[in-house]
Amino acid sequence: MAKAKTTVFFCKECGFESSKWLGQCPACKEWNTLVEEPVAKKTPSGRTGAVSQRTLAKPVKLEEVSIEEQDRISTGYPELDRVLGSGIVAGSLVLVGGDPGIGKSTLLLQMCRNLARDGHRVLYISGEESLKQIKMRASRIGTISGELLFLCETNLDTIEEAIRETKPEIVIIDSIQTMFREDVTSAPGSVSQVRESTNVLMQIAKGMGISVFIVGHVTKEGVVAGPRVLEHMVDTVLYFEGERNASYRILRGVKNRFGSTNEIGVFEMQENGLEEVENPSEYLLSGRPEDASGAVAACSLEGSRPILLEVQALVTQTNFGMPRRTAAGADFNRVNLLIAVLEKRCRYEMSRYDAYVNIAGGMRMNEPALDLAIIMALVSSMKDKPVNPKCMIFGEVGLAGEVRAVSQAEQRVHEAIKLGFESCILPQVSLDKMKKTDKITLYGVSNVREAIRLI
């Protein structure tokens, strides 16, 4: 008789299931991501779908479904609300991912404090910290009042009971990697535990109309199941990112069933918790060096919001046959491409120079609109000629050295005016489409050489 299989293999990245080990996951094509785990027992309750309301299986017309205004709950932080798509949707499942120690627990605790203050019933479940530790953190962020309950527990069956008993409007699970269900034999943090646990939470969210926030750690070399597995199970995925040693953090929407993605919220980690940064441009441009070559103010569009920042470049004679190139905050391949454009289209001997590009402040920006600013910073550093600090530059650069139009040019120029810039170099095509303004001098350019001649 054939032996019943007791283990299966899961892909840590995408959750693909296989009966035998494979070097490459056939689903997501990642290498070496399959891990062995015990077979999950089938539960008699058969938790599979999102909502198991068998008795209510009656199709309805959309007109019969009512959407009430108060379905969205404000978190008390406009920055967070915007990323969520103007507030929390009742019955939604939100995943908050990020490196350990970036501030996920702090952000969610502060959100809970605001919600409780506004009269909502909130349950914060921590599997990572003791009540004492939570209290210590809470004392740093200020007073907590209202219906904010805490529970330190990792067993999801107990948690489910607690939720049914306390009937909160919002539940925080910190973190999904510590949670487990008794009838799944594998360890907490394994793919099957994470998936089963999320299933239970999804049932709670959809069945009882409770908004559930799940914290998930992302680690490069996934010791635990990456929250990637969860991404397609939840409604909204937010990533909290930033350099550990820089104080500000960016909350990025990656997936959102109730709003636009690509929105960002900017926070700053301070002594007493996270503080919203309402005007990130001002913040990013503060402390700019005066009259230094290789520094250019640029504009990147994050979601619906233009953000001004500083692009820095340092170009020095190379001491080796192979010039060194680095890009911090910008895409490395893009920087290489722009250097090649300078070499071929503008006849700069870039192969004799090392080039280092940096987006000041530790921001990570990948928008092509930064191309022209990167090129100008490189040229400015190479010639050791500073660019006018009151001039803002943006535009996409093509392989022929042409400067191409970018989206929302008017909005970017507007932001520059707001921050007191006197001139702006932008694609000619974008300029042609814009309304005339006398608040700022606009220079349209159609290729890189024209732009270089301007400085």
Could you tell me which residues are annotated as the binding site? Answer: 98-105
Binding site for ligand TYD (CB under 6 A): 98, 100-106, 137, 140-141, 269, 271-273
Nearer to ligand TYD among residue 269 and residue 377 (C-beta): 269
- Residue of closest CB approach to Mg ion: 105
Q: How far is the CB of 177 from ligand TYD (least distance, A)?
A: 11
Assess contact for 362 and 243: CB atoms under 8 A.
yes
Nearer to ligand TYD among residue 84 and residue 327 (C-beta): 84
Exactly one of 33, 75, 92, 105 binds Mg ion (CB under 5 A); that residue is 105
HEC string for 35-93: EEEECCCCCCCCCCCCCCCHHHCCCCCHHHCCCCHHHEECCCCHHHHHHHCCCEECCCE
Nearer to ligand TYD among residue 245 and residue 319 (C-beta): 245
Nearer to ligand TYD among residue 231 and residue 241 (C-beta): 241
SS3 385: coil
Residue 154 near Mg ion by CB under 5 A: no
Q: How far is the CB of 404 from Mg ion (least distance, A)?
A: 43
Do β-strands 211-217 and 148-152 pair in parallel, antiparallel, or remain unpaired?
unpaired
Partner in contact with 252, chosen from Mg ion, ligand TYD, none, beta carbon below 5 to 8 Å by kind: none
Alpha carbon distance 283, 279 (integer Å)? 7
Q: Which bin fits 86, alpha (ψ -120 to 50), beta or left (φ > 0)?
A: left
Q: How far is the CB of 97 from ligand TYD (least distance, A)?
A: 10
Alpha carbon distance 230, 185 (integer Å)? 19
Residue ranges of the annotated binding site for ATP are 98-105
Span from 60-68, 100-108, 117-125, 338-346 in contact with Mg ion (CB under 5 A): 100-108
Q: Cβ–Cβ contacts within 10 Å for residue 432, how many? A: 9
Partner in contact with 106, chosen from Mg ion, ligand TYD, none, beta carbon below 5 to 8 Å by kind: ligand TYD
Report cis status (omega within 30 of 0) of the bond before 175.
yes
Nearer to Mg ion among residue 105 and residue 211 (C-beta): 105
Alpha carbon distance 218, 199 (integer Å)? 20
Residue 106 near Mg ion by CB under 5 A: no
Q: How far is the CB of 279 from ligand TYD (least distance, A)?
A: 21
Residue 247 phi, psi (nearest 5): -85, -15
Residue 238 phi, psi (nearest 5): -115, 140
Nearer to Mg ion among residue 105 and residue 381 (C-beta): 105
Q: How far is the CB of 328 from Mg ion (least distance, A)?
A: 27
Closest to 298 (Cα-Cα) out of 290, 307, 289: 307
Q: How far is the CB of 215 from ligand TYD (least distance, A)?
A: 7
Nearer to ligand TYD among residue 247 and residue 336 (C-beta): 247
Q: How far is the CB of 362 from ligand TYD (least distance, A)?
A: 16
Partner in contact with 273, chosen from ligand TYD, Mg ion, none, beta carbon below 5 to 8 Å by kind: ligand TYD
Q: How far is the CB of 100 from ligand TYD (least distance, A)?
A: 5
Q: Which long-range contacts (CB under 8 A, 24 or more apart) does 218-221 make?
A: 218/97, 218/98, 218/99, 219/99, 219/100
Nearer to ligand TYD among residue 105 and residue 186 (C-beta): 105
Partner in contact with 168, chosen from ligand TYD, Mg ion, none, beta carbon below 5 to 8 Å by kind: none
Nearer to ligand TYD among residue 137 and residue 449 (C-beta): 137
Partner in contact with 100, chosen from Mg ion, ligand TYD, none, beta carbon below 5 to 8 Å by kind: ligand TYD
Partner in contact with 101, chosen from ligand TYD, Mg ion, none, beta carbon below 5 to 8 Å by kind: ligand TYD
Interactions with Mg ion, residue window 245-304 (CB under 5 A):
none
Assess contact for 86 and 77: CB atoms under 8 A.
no
Q: How far is the CB of 106 from Mg ion (least distance, A)?
A: 8
Partner in contact with 102, chosen from ligand TYD, Mg ion, none, beta carbon below 5 to 8 Å by kind: ligand TYD
Number of residues interacting with Mg ion: please give it, by CB under 5 A.
Answer: 1
Q: How far is the CB of 179 from Mg ion (least distance, A)?
A: 14
Residue 193 near Mg ion by CB under 5 A: no
Closest to 360 (Cα-Cα) out of 389, 386, 328, 390: 328
Partner in contact with 135, chosen from ligand TYD, Mg ion, none, beta carbon below 5 to 8 Å by kind: none
Nearer to Mg ion among residue 10 and residue 124 (C-beta): 124
Span from 103-111, 153-161, 348-356, 426-434 in contact with Mg ion (CB under 5 A): 103-111
Type and span of the H or E element at 140: helix 131-141
Interface residues with Mg ion (CB under 5 A) are: 105
